[in-house]
Structure 1
């Protein structure tokens, strides 16, 4: 199953420096095109629904950034991998659990915000909890960061990405 795993640059740095390691999403939480997600949308192919799961993972990345004290730039990060995952029907439609992490060889790509999104990401990190509770102004702040597209990086490009930060 294609899974979208929320992350931070610090998590990517740890993955790159730990040769042959597994990527361990916090709590095993990820997002995917699940039967419940397909049912929630009246139209859309797997690619379009994959974009929905990617956006959900990017929003979850904002929550991870609220605890990030690495000193690295504030950027949303989503690790895309092919992995076994169990659907979590007790949570949102796209939520899955990945047990035991993901082997680096199963990582397909990593999506990361560009530098232009940094101030919007910082504002969204402060607003994400309020947005989840229905605050309309906070939801607009989240919308501002979602206006920024995430860049696509192959796994072999990650050391260079981190070096350029």
Structure 2
């Protein structure tokens, strides 16, 4: 099963150093039965894109949390695509996040299929989205528009052998 794990560049560096994505439990996003039922007309590729998009939203929140904690993280969303066994990802029951899954174990780097990262041209919009998150969460429509604008940027695909280049 393909799982999309939200991340940041500093967290990716830690995962590379540790040889695994963790610590467990991990929250990820995948094509779940609830997502398939809700998005009845989509094929597998479309459903995986929905899961990737959800993980990118979670990555934006991770960036905001890093900033609040004083972590100097580049304003680039990161999503790790990994292959896990079918029973490893437990789907949640939250109807707002139909693609959300929980992994009870860390994911070895050997299970990573690819990494998706914002291109540098997206940085100003990601910065604006991070700044707008609190107001967006408070119901401000203009701030929500700014946060949603981050999704206008497609994440770039990187092979696993390109990860070291991303971290330098």
TM-score normalised by L of structure 1: 0.89
How far apart, in 1, do the equivalents of 2:138 and 2:54 lie?
Answer: 16
1: CA distance, partners of 2:131 / 2:83: 31
User: Alpha carbons of 1:129 and 1:72: their partners in 2 closer, same or farther (altered >3 Å)?
Assistant: closer
CA RMSD of aligned residues (A): 1.8
Equivalents in 1 of 2:132, 2:91: separation in Å?
28
Pair 1:82 & 2:83 matched? yes
Deviation at 1:147, TM superposition (A): 1.1
Return the match for 1:66 from 61, 64, 67.
Answer: 64
Q: Could you tell me which runs of 5 or more consecutive residues in structure 1 were left unpaired when the two chains were aligned.
A: none
After TM superposition, what 4+ stretches of structure 1 lie above 6 angstroms from structure 2?
Answer: none
* Stretches of structure 2 lacking an aligned partner (at least 5 in a row): none
Q: 1:149 to 1:25 in 2, by over 3 A?
A: farther
User: What SS does the aligned partner of 2:65 have?
Assistant: coil
**What's the secondary structure of 1:74's corresponding residue?**
coil
Contact 1:5 1:25 (C-alpha < 8 Å) held by counterparts: no
| Cα displacement string for residues 61-118 of structure 1 (whole angstroms, at most 9, x for unaligned residues) | 0111012244241110000001121011146211100111111111100000011111
| Residue from 135, 152, 155 that aligns with 2:157 | 152
Q: Tell me which residue corresponds to 1:55.
A: 53
Kept after mapping to 1: 8 A contact 2:116/2:155: yes
Change (3 A) 1:26 1:46: same
Equivalent pair of 2:24/2:103 in contact (CA under 8 Å): no
Look up the SS of the partner of 2:129 in the other structure.
Answer: helix
Does the aligned pair in 2 maintain the 1:33–1:50 contact within 8 Å?
yes
Structure 2 match to 1:35: 33
73 and 27 in structure 1: CA distance in 2 versus 1, 3 angstrom threshold:
same
Asked whether the equivalents of residues 30 and 97 of structure 1 are also in contact (C-alpha less than 8 Å), the reply is: yes
